[in-house]
Copies of this chain bind each other. A is one copy, B any other.
Amino acid sequence: MRPSDLPQVRSLELFESMSDSNFELLMQAAYLQTFPAQLELIAEGDPADFLYIVIEGCVELFARSNGGETTMGMVRPVGTFILAAVLKDAVYLMSARTCKRSRVLMVPSEDVRQLFQRDEAFARAIVVELASCYRTVVKEHKDLKLRTAVERLANRLLRYNLDQGDTGSLELPHGKRTLASLLGMTPENLSRAFNTLKPYGVVVRGNKISLNDLEALANLAKPNPLIDDRTT
């Protein structure tokens, strides 16, 4: 465990209010590992042995059923995943793989649960974190059920644009293949959706996107804070 990573982890809302001694206890039990790209860290159905924290790189959460596979979310530094499974001492509902070479902190779930029992502040922080996770999935579910593929893409572009400083030009944070799966469509359909958005000022060059008519795009997308806001 490299000491220089601790402040980052410590500053996570999840660990912020925890006592120093308890935090150190947790970190001493944890493993920091570096994984190559495209390595499957966990598979859905496995018992939740660890809580994962992405320190560096990027991790894709995905799910399989029958032949299919779909991306459920992306975790970037510094973020945790599969907290709920750890707390319930249940099996993972999602699989996870690295998108690129990544450093990941693995905290044995037994330790997380013990500390959850002993550290009141930690328990409360977990509530806040879980509530946020829950609301995020609800928003994604609404997005999928209430919008067409083109609308989902348009809103996603608007969101990336805001995340990246509202300059009207943005960079896709993941490959188009992944983006398509995240938005619940095929890569071919994503490509066509981009074409559909061309009249609305959306220009694509690789993973760089220019939004040249934000008004028109927003008019089509009809962004809804109760779906698109990641803050509330």
Q: Which residues of B contact A123 (CB under 8 A)?
A: 120, 123-124, 127
Please determine whether B128 and A117 come into contact, CB atoms closer than 8 angstroms: no
Number of copies: 2
By beta carbon, the residue of chain B nearest A69 is B146
Decide yes or no whether A187 CB sits under 8 A from chain B. no
By beta carbon, the residue of chain B nearest A131 is B84
* Interface core residue of A135, A226, A232 (most chain B CB under 10 Å): A226
Decide yes or no whether A173 CB sits under 8 A from chain B. no
Q: Which residues of B contact A116 (CB under 8 A)?
A: 124, 127
Decide yes or no whether A227 CB sits under 8 A from chain B. yes
Chain A residues packing against B (C-beta within 8 Å): 44-45, 63-66, 68-70, 72, 83-85, 87-88, 90-91, 93-94, 116-117, 120, 123-124, 126-128, 130-135, 137-142, 144-147, 184, 222, 224, 226-227, 232
Other A-B pairs, 13, CB within 8 Å; known A117-B124, A137-B138: A45-B226, A63-B142, A69-B146, A84-B131, A87-B131, A88-B128, A91-B226, A91-B232, A93-B135, A93-B226, A120-B120, A130-B130, A137-B137
